Structure formats: structure tokens, C-alpha cells
């Protein structure tokens, strides 16, 4: 599914200190005095002692803020680092250990005890697992599309107008959007006239090519990503916007979890001070992921919370600050002023911030969601989309409608309610999974 979040020198494991030269010191450091044999802990005892020092956070159930299905209990991520408690707000500076000190761990969930090759193999396996889960998430859309496309061809020797009408219905039923569907039909007609399309496989290929073209073209607009921001600029500031209920809080938790699991220091800013519940929900996710959260009481100016968070992030030398924002649209002019002010504050504190503004869109709401998204685009300066609940719909074609009509790239896709149910959206993988 592609690299998840890799700002540090692209594919190299700089954060983990693994691509430092593997030179041995010329002179051996003096050996520490040997403890008496009975005092030396076995590896089992050491592991027990270590786990008893870190009190695991309680497994908490989030209270749903939207109308979607009840959340299910979280299974701890195999690759997840041990959870820590969310710290209290405030810019308390935290000394980070140098990379070389970290790599001295003998057993690490971040893989600090592994070679670069082993880490790459582990990452490949993880990506494969995510690919399989993504395929499952779009299975309802795939089945519905395949069923319709197959039936379009049943008992037909040639592609005629009636077949094209049925094709149109199939694509619109998958929520691919009217404009895209008309584009696809035009291409198909041309292919038929040139005798290039005369069976189901050729037809599917023509549709796939057309959809890919749209998804790829969308990445030329608005796109901002961690790779485009110089390494010396930190924290990387991500603002997350979207109407309530689309899965914004869940997405922040998932993003924090995976970015942290890649070895980054992450901080969350609870700047939706309008709803008390928003901050509470975020606190639950922050605790689950072991990522500190900066929050203040309800009604505080969101820009002030952001200011505090930026200060805290700088003091901690955090790599990433994820900022939650208010999700109400009915007071659009307020929201616009609020977001503008937040952006000004961010820019003043960190060069180029916010570096990325992600709009969260709920795939289940289909064309209605698209309309809400349009409203947001007017006020938020969005650079990319997170499409949530792709697993909960047979109308997953909405991804194409979004890319075409909003002219923005889909950066991530939500494929479930659990902490690790978020993947980098890959147009190729998406299109191949819809039609094969």
C-alpha cells in the first residue's frame, strides 16, 4: 500500500538510528563490573520487570459521536509500541534520547534490534497485510460492480446501446459519479468504434484506465505531504477538518498510532473546543495510542490551544503535531475565521505550517458527503482527503467522484473502526481491487 509516513530521508530508517555507520569502536570501552550471578535477571525476569514498570492503559470504549456502528474493542497492534499515558497539557520539555542510545535496546517493538533488511522484510509483510485488508474493505463494492458488469454481458455478442445503458447504471450505482460515468462511456464508445473493446475484459480495462487517469490527475492539485517539507522544519503540522460524525477523531487516533509506530514523536492538539465531547473522545484515543494530548477547557479559543500545542511540540522536539478542529458547518463564517486564525498562528510558529490540511469524508454518505466536502473546501484550504468507512459501503466508487469533483488527492482510507484500520490510498491498488 506504499510507505505510510516517512519524512526522514524517504525509505531510510534514520529515526531509528539504523543507518548510522556500523563502525566498531577502535578501543573497547571498559567492561562494567559483573553483578553477582544470582542478581543478574534472566531475560524473562527482565521483561516482567519492564512490563510492570509501564502500567498499561485501560482498554477504553469510545463513545460514538456519529451515527455509525458501535465501536468494537481494540486489539493491540502487533507492531504497536507499548502504550504510555497521555501527559498533562503544558510545554514541558522532554529530553529525547539520542538514536544510538535507543538502538541499545535488546528487544524492541520498533525493531531497533533488527537489521535494515529484517526491518524492510517486516515492513513488506505489514504492507501485504494492509493490502489484503484493503481488498476486503472494498469487497462489497467489487462484488456489486462485478455482478452488474457480468450481467451486462450475459447473452450478448456485441456492445450495443442497451449494454452501454446498463453499464451507465452499474457505474452510477457504485457512486462513481455522473461526470465520471459519462467520461467512461465516451471512452468505451470510442473503443467499440475502433474495435478495441469487444469483450468484458477489454471493457473492464477501459474503465480501469479511465478511473486511474482521474485519480492520478487529482494528485496534481492540492497535494501536500511529509516528503515535501524540509527535514529541519518541525513539527510537521497536520490539520484535520471535516463535519462531525465522519470519523475525524478516529482518524486522528489512527494517524497518531501509525506515525508514532514509524518512530516519530507525535503530539495531538484538541482544538475542537466547541464540543466538550470532542475533547473527551480525543483523550480516549490519545491514551490508547500513548500519544500526549494538549487540551483546554471547553470554549477556549482554538487558536490559543494550537499556540500552546505548537510551543509544547517545539519544546519536546516533536516530529508531528496533529490538530483536531471544529466540525460544525452551520456557523460557516465563524469556522472560516477560526481556521484562518489557527493557520496564522501555525505559520507564525513553524515555517510553512500547517503543512497539510486533510478533509475527512465519510464514504457511506456518498454524494451527500461530497456536498458537505464542497462547503468545507471553501473555508479550509484543504490539501488532501481521508476517505473513511470504505469498508462500510458497496458504493466505494465515491473515491473517484471525490477525486474528480473536488480535484484533490485521497491520501488515506479508513477501512474499519480499529486503531490500525487506516491505509495509504493507492489509486492502482484501489482500481485493481474494484475490477479484479
Give the interface with ligand GDP as residue ranges (CB under 6 A).
Answer: 64-66, 68, 71, 242, 244-250, 281, 327, 388-389, 391-392, 414-417, 421
Distance from C-alpha of 129 to C-alpha of 266, rounded to nearest angstrom: 24
Distance between CA atoms of residues 131 and 414, nearest Å: 13
Q: Which is nearer to ligand GDP, 263 or 327 (CB)?
A: 327
By C-beta, is 260 or 389 nearer to ligand GDP? 389
| Distance of closest approach, residue 322 Cβ to ligand GDP, in angstroms | 13
Cell numbers given for 113: 534490534
Spatial distance between the Cα atoms of 430 and 219, rounded to a whole number of angstroms: 15
Minimal distance, residue 293 CB to ligand GDP, in Å: 14
CB closer to ligand GDP, 14 vs 140: 140
Which residue carries 460492480 as its cell? 145
What's the min distance (Å) between Cβ of 281 and ligand GDP? Answer: 6
Beta bridge pairs of residue 385:
359, 410
In the numeric block, the cell 480499529 is attached to: 418
**Cβ 322 vs Cβ 235: under 8 Å:** no
The residue to which cell 490538530 is assigned: 323
Closest CB 278 distance from ligand GDP, rounded Å: 7
Instruction: Name the minimum Å distance from CB 241 to ligand GDP.
Output: 10
Q: Which is nearer to ligand GDP, 262 or 324 (CB)?
A: 324
Separation CA 203–CA 207 (nearest Å): 6
Residue 270 pairs with which residues in a beta bridge?
324
* CB-nearer residue toward ligand GDP: 349 or 362: 362
Q: Return the residue nearest ligand GDP (CB atom).
A: 414
CB closer to ligand GDP, 185 vs 277 = 277
Nearest approach, Cβ of residue 165 and ligand GDP (Å): 33
Question: Minimum distance between the CB of residue 416 and ligand GDP, rounded to whole angstroms?
Answer: 5
Nearer to ligand GDP, 263 or 369 (CB): 369
∠ Cα 104 105 108 (to 5°): 140
By beta-carbon proximity to ligand GDP, the closer residue of 280 and 340 is: 280
Task: Please state, in angstroms and rounded to a whole number, the distance separating the CA atoms of residues 256 and 433.
Answer: 27
CB distance 99 to 319 below 8 Å? no
Quote the CA–CA distance of 313 and 267 in Å, as a whole number: 7
Q: Which is nearer to ligand GDP, 229 or 255 (CB)?
A: 255
- Say if CB 137 and CB 390 are below 8 A apart: yes
Q: What is the DSSP string of 234-276?
A: -SEEEEEE--TTSSHHHHHHHHHHHHHHTT--EEEEE---S-H
Q: How far is the CB of 253 from ligand GDP (least distance, A)?
A: 8
Write down the least CB distance from residue 329 to ligand GDP, Å. 12
Residue with cell 514498570: 53
Amino acid at each position: 500500500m506504499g510507505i505510510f509516513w516517512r519524512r526522514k530521508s524517504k525509505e531510510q530508517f534514520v529515526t531509528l538510528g539504523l543507518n548510522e555507520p556500523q563502525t566498531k569502536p577502535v578501543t573497547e570501552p571498559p567492561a562494567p563490573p559483573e553483578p553477582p550471578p544470582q542478581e543478574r535477571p534472566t531475560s524473562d525476569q527482565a521483561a516482567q520487570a519492564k512490563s510492570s514498570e509501564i502500567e498499561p492503559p485501560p482498554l477504553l470504549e469510545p463513545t460514538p459521536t456519529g451515527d455509525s456502528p458501535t465501536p468494537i474493542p481494540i486489539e493491540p497492534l502487533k507492531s504497536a509500541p507499548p502504550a504510555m499515558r497521555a501527559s498533562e497539557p503544558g510545554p514541558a520539555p522532554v529530553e529525547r534520547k539520542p538514536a544510538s542510545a535507543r538502538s541499545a535496546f535488546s528487544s524492541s517493538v520498533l525493531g531497533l534490534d533488527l537489521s535494515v533488511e529484517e526491518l524492510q522484510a517486516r515492513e513488506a509483510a505489514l504492507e501485504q497485510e494492509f493490502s489484503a485488508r484493503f481488498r476486503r474493505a472494498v469487497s462489497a463494492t467489487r462484488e456489486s460492480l462485478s455482478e452488474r458488469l457480468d450481467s451486462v454481458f450475459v447473452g450478448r455478442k456485441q456492445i450495443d446501446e442497451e449494454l452501454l445503458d446498463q453499464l451507465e447504471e452499474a457505474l452510477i450505482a457504485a457512486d462513481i459519479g455522473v461526470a465520471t460515468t459519462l467520461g467512461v462511456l465516451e471512452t468505451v464508445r470510442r473503443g467499440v468504434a475502433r474495435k478495441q473493446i469487444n469483450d468484458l475484459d477489454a471493457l473492464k480495462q477501459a474503465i480501469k484506465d479511465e478511473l486511474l487517469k482521474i485519480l492520478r490527475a487529482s494528485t496534481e492539485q492540492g497535494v501536500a505531504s511529509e516528503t515535501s517539507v524540509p527535514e529541519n522544519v518541525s513539527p510537521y503540522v497536520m490539520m484535520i477538518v471535516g463535519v462531525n460524525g465522519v470519523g475525524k477523531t478516529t482518524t486522528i487516533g489512527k494517524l497518531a498510532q501509525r506515525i508514532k509506530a514509524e518512530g516519530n514523536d507525535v503530539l495531538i492538539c484538541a482544538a475542537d473546543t466547541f464540543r466538550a465531547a470532542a475533547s473527551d473522545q480525543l483523550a480516549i484515543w490519545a491514551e490508547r495510542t500513548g500519544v500526549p494530548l494538549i487540551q483546554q477547557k471547553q470554549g477556549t479559543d482554538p487558536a490559543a490551544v494550537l499556540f500552546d500545542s505548537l510551543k509544547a511540540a517545539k519544546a519536546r522536539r516533536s516530529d508531528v503535531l496533529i490538530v483536531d478542529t471544529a466540525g460544525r458547518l452551520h456557523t460557516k463564517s465563524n469556522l472560516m475565521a477560526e481556521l484562518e486564525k489557527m493557520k496564522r498562528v501555525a505559520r507564525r510558529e513553524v515555517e510553512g505550517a500547517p503543512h497539510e490540511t486533510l478533509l475527512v469524508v465519510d464514504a457511506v454518505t456518498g454524494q451527500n458527503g461530497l456536498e458537505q466536502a464542497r462547503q468545507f473546501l471553501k473555508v479550509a484550504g484543504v490539501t488532501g482527503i481521508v476517505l473513511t468507512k470504505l469498508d462500510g459501503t458497496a458504493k466505494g466508487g465515491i473515491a473517484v467522484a471525490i477525486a474528480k469533483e473536488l480535484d484533490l488527492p485521497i491520501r488515506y482510507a479508513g477501512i474499519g473502526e480499529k486503531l490500525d484500520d487506516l491505509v495509504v490510498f493507492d489509486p492502482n491498488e484501489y482500481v485493481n481491487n474494484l475490477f479484479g
